A and B are shown apart, each in its own frame.
Chain A
Amino acid sequence: MSDKILYGCAAVFNTPDEITHAAEKVANAGYKKFDVHTPYPVHGMDDAMKLAPSKLGYVALVFGLSGTLGALFTLWWISAVDYPIVIGGKPFFSFPAYIPVMFELTVLSAAIATVLAMLFIFFKLPNNSHPLHGTEYMKKVSSDKYGISIQADDPQFDKEKIKELFETLNAAKIYLIHWDNDELNHKHKILEPKFLAFLFVVALISSGTAYFTLNKLMFMVPFNWMMDQPKQSAQQKSLIFDDGFGMRNPVPGTVARGYLPYQFKGQPDLAGEKLVNPVPISNESLKLGGQKFDIYCSPCHGYHGDGASRLRGQFPNPPSLHSDKVRKWSDGRIFAVITDGQNIMPSYSTQLSVEERWAVINYVRALQRALNAKESDLQ
């Protein structure tokens, strides 16, 4: 017994009147490190013990207000800065609509912060190794008795004097309470394997769930039955054909309707000599040609064929179509350029049908004529 360190001296009383009286007496006697333990809060005890009013209200105030302002700032940033979207014709920052959320976050942060502050900062809980735990004294004050204890580290502490004081106050029972040596000597090491294992498991579970929810769960495709159909889609592997291709080539030698092979591939000059423009210049053909020219040629050559491209230097500017050279070319020679391409100009044979190519050429001729009009054109 004697090798244990004394925590303090405690006494239990039977009635709330007695404990209030005892608390007053102990406080008046100048003890500082004493505490009263009662099964429920006894009215008037704070005054009897001369306790200063609780400061937890300030915690609630500070965290409540930061909840409000934090919410306001976040809502403003989200809806007016980060991703402004007009909703119902309201301004991006529509304050009245934010009030409900701001209010809820105020309550939430104040409630959580106050309770956490109370438990962990004001009470320094959890603390299951306090010397009062596991004593008969604690059993009594948890149920129906009222106790008072004075700590041994109080400057005025004197075992005998305190016992006497308690006796004069009519204490039902007096206890000497000691520290538990085992608990006192037990050192909690941070690097205990059990603790590390616990941390590891917690980290694993929390990161796993976060990963699963944010990357898998919330991307789960719902009810996609209409998407899996037992048909063959383009680019898919086929199990039916030996070559494994889902898309089939036409039978060798098949010729598409209206297809005529181009005889002068790679021989623009020959084409210029041999090809004759079969499309007569008419209103329709000029209209068609103008339309197609504006679509396919104007991005590089400009609307007037003068090489004023709209590509802002992202592609080498082509030469003017009003050069003497092109003006002197036969229609067939231009046809060869459109069909085969020329150096970096690509071929337009897939975009433009044969007819359309001739129509474009007619239009180019009209553009050329417009820049070099003869006197007679004005009449």
Chain B
Amino acid sequence: MTAADFTKELSVIEGKPALRELDELISKPLETKPNKKFYIALSITLSLFSLLVIGLGLTFYYGIGMWGNNNPVGWAFDIVNFVFWVGIGHAGTLISAILFLFRQKWRTGIARFAEGMTIFAVMTAGMFPLIHVGRPWLAGYLFPYPNQHSLWVNFTSPLLWDVFAVSTYLTVSLIFWYVGLIPDLAILREKTTHKIKKVIYSVFSLGWRFSNRHWQHYEMVYLILAGFATPLVLSVHTIVSFDFAVSIIPGWHTTIFPPYFVAGAVFSGFAMVQNVLIIVRKIFNYEHIITLDTLEKMNKIMLLTGSLVGYAYAMEFFIAWYSGVEAERFTFLNRALGPYAWAYWIMITCNVVSPQFFWVRKIRRSIPVMFVIAIFVNIGMWFERFVIIVTSLSRDFLPSSWAYYKPTYVDAMILIGSFGFFFTWILLFTKALPVVSMAEVKAVVDGAQPSHKEH
């Protein structure tokens, strides 16, 4: 092997596994009893989750006075966490929809998992606006329904657009995910010998028959859904950024926010997907399905979006100076040099500096190093939201109302607990459903498609 042959498309799945082997391998976790490692992992995530339960219990019982939010900083951990988790969710739809439209075959190995993560991340995210309103049981009023007060919601508010965007996003992601699952559930239905499982799989696979008359429409629908999900995923973080950009707080009131937020969301989402996939492929021996090539491609996307985010940081500074608005200038200097400078520099190191290592091919292909970098990216992206929200609010136009925000232990419990919530779902998912799409993976194995020779 001297020079690579660039005329031939690289195979996505390493080796040439028999199709039946793929079935066996992917459905193995569903057919075997969970082992000790699984229970240890589950007990860790459940303990973290219980922190969330306690934190929320305290919040509901005593009210949101338990949090560190103070007078100028009315949005703090709750909204930081919301934006963070919604962002994580973006990688899933990006992989399943946008990469599908671009015909990136390497997505097949990771699409199912990433979509699952999208759903769990959006669920986690959705919790935060609910608890942020302080009285989550009244959240029904966020939806325009004809009520006895004959009052409607305010359709000109970005916060309401958020309600529509996030709930649409969750619904469409669920639909997308389920449609992808139908053929796999049918495979499981044919494979299983367990009576109850057979009933469950039969019900949820709806009696799918692998008929090509069906595949034809199915592929069409997949394309349509991908076509709708692509602008949808862009719209969701755009609308999340409107929550800030439409207000007049210095540091928020900028037109760069929508693209900057979307890039950041994809950035952090890919980091999270990459982290979790590295663990999954190790535990379930999926090394040749979720290949190193795939991980490398994800790292490249992180490099791209990380650089976009870095550019946005620089551009914000430039515009603050160039606009000549005193409050804007102050806000950005205050971010970098003020009381929250520590958070700002954590953000810069993690988000701008750390992905730059991915220029080096060796690092891009070294699993331990990329794992650590992705963790840094996640930390950095959390701090990005913290910096945007807290620094801007804590010192806005009126110096007399400035105040320093400090989170309380309840804030910390809820943040840590949200990870427990998310990973508990992930763990249950790996045991309940195939984490790799069997039907899709088979279609991209070498030799799975006709060679188109003349008969």
Contacts and interface: CB of A to CB of B under 8 A. Distances in A.
Contacts, number: 209
Nearest to A220: B137
B171 interface: yes
Q: Is chain B's interface secondary structure helix, strand, loop, or mixed overall? A: helix
Q: Is the interface of A mostly helix, strand, loop or mixed?
A: helix
A79 B211 contact: no
A17 B453 contact: yes
Interface string A105-124: 10110111011001100110
A216 to B, nearest CB: 10
Contact of A90 (B20, B137, B156, B232): B156
Interface residues of A, number: 75
A49 B152 CA distance: 53
A218 B138 contact: yes
A98 B155 contact: yes
A348 to B, nearest CB: 39
Nearest to A18: B450
Interface string A123-134: 101111110110
A114 B450 CA distance: 30
Contacts of A193: none
A104 B209 contact: no
A145 B190 CA distance: 13
Interface string A88-101: 10100010011011
Interface in A13-62: 15-17, 20-21, 23-24, 35-46, 49, 51, 54, 56-57, 60
A101 B137 contact: no
Contact of A101 (B160, B189, B228, B447): B160
A108 B242 CA distance: 20
Interface string A328-365: 00000000000000000000000000000000000000
A110 B228 contact: yes
A46 B450 contact: no
B450 A56 contact: no
B33 interface: no
B3 interface: no
Instruction: Name the 5 nearest CB pairs between A and B, nearest first.
Output: A144-B19, A40-B443, A54-B220, A97-B156, A36-B212
Interface of A: 15-17, 20-21, 23-24, 35-46, 49, 51, 54, 56-57, 60, 64, 74-75, 78-79, 82-83, 87-88, 90, 94, 97-98, 100-101, 103-105, 107-108, 110-112, 114-115, 118-119, 122-123, 125-130, 132-133, 138-139, 141-144, 213-214, 217-218, 220, 222-223
Interface of B: 18-20, 23, 63, 134-135, 137-138, 140-141, 144, 147, 150-152, 154-156, 158, 160-161, 164-165, 168, 171-172, 175-176, 179, 183, 186-187, 189-191, 202-203, 206-221, 224-225, 228-229, 231-232, 235, 239, 242, 439-440, 442-443, 447-453, 455
21 contacts: A40-B183, A40-B439, A49-B212, A54-B217, A60-B224, A78-B152, A79-B156, A83-B150, A104-B164, A107-B168, A107-B172, A118-B217, A118-B218, A118-B221, A125-B208, A126-B203, A126-B207, A128-B202, A214-B147, A220-B138, A223-B63
